Amino acid sequence: MKLGIINGWDEGCFEYVKNKGLNAVEFCVNHNYDSEEFLSKASKIKGYSDKYGIPVGSMGRWGMTRINDNGNVIPEALKDDLNIIEAASIIGCPVYNCGVNYVDSKSFYENCNIAIDYLGKLIEFGKEKNVKIAVYNCRWENFIVEPKAWEVVLSALPDLGIKYDISHCLYDNGNYLAEMRDWGDRFYHFHLKGCVYFDNDVYDDAPAGLDSINWGAAMDILYTKNYNGMLSIEPHSKYWQGKKGQWGIDYTINYFRPMIMPEDYEYEENPYMP
């Protein structure tokens, strides 16, 4: 596993990630960014990645409406997704995260079929570009966030993965350890976003490690599921800003670093070990 963080794609962002001692960066090329402009910068971004030795572990596009009210694909949205997958291929990023919005005029079954068709197009294009496709478990213009939808959509698309964030499960009052147990073998990307949760409600998206999540148990499940992708720190709290926010990022880095087994870890077989 590689410990990284969400950040931008200017050169200074790569330098920041490098100076934090992290091993990867994630981009959120959300609905408010021009995908053509981002694609035009892909080669330059690849140069920054190589210069600082910081790979781009994942990128995604949140908050974009992809299906119109009649249940039809919005051509411009599909083009945006294809543009960013193309950029990911140039940059060397292995995972693209996206979602599919729910259409109220259609049934759940119809929405699932619409999503299967749409995501299938992205998966086929991604295969040509060596980029895997994952759905994020966030409800921002997306309904494929929980087992009810995963059982239908992921069963139909065996190459589709999940970008998992425990805090979103808690926002829905779900059982994150059970979801990780049952679906962890489909995880392509994983967020480290803390969550202070009590009285069946979320109080704060705190720095991971200073929150209510059982991170030790979560890491155990990732290891037992042989997850070997990026652990991406997501600073998201309205309270943790400025100096306190930067200290919170450092705390999260130091909290998780001992939990990550080095790739070059060496050991000797112990015949007396139970």
Q: pLDDT tens for residues 222-270?
A: 999 999 999 999 999 999 999 999 999 999 999 999 999 998 998 888 7
Q: Is residue 78 part of a domain?
A: yes
Residue 274 pLDDT more than 80?
no
- pLDDT at position 55: 98
Q: Is residue 270 part of a domain?
A: no
Q: Is residue 269 part of a domain?
A: no
- pLDDT at position 273: 65
Q: Is residue 267 part of a domain?
A: no
Residue 144 pLDDT more than 80?
yes
Q: What is the mean pLDDT of the chain?
A: 97
- pLDDT at position 233: 98
- 3-state helix, strand and coil shares in percent for the chain, rounded to the nearest 5: 45, 15, 40
Give me 62's structure tokens.
């949140």
Query: What is the per-residue pLDDT across 123-141, written as a single tens digit (0 to 9) for each?
Result: 999 999 999 999 999 999 9
- Is pTM, for the whole model, over 0.85? yes
Range of the domain at 160: 2-259
Q: Is residue 129 part of a domain?
A: yes
Q: Is residue 76 part of a domain?
A: yes
Q: Is residue 274 part of a domain?
A: no
How many domains does the chain divide into? 1
- CATH, residue 128: 3.20.20.150
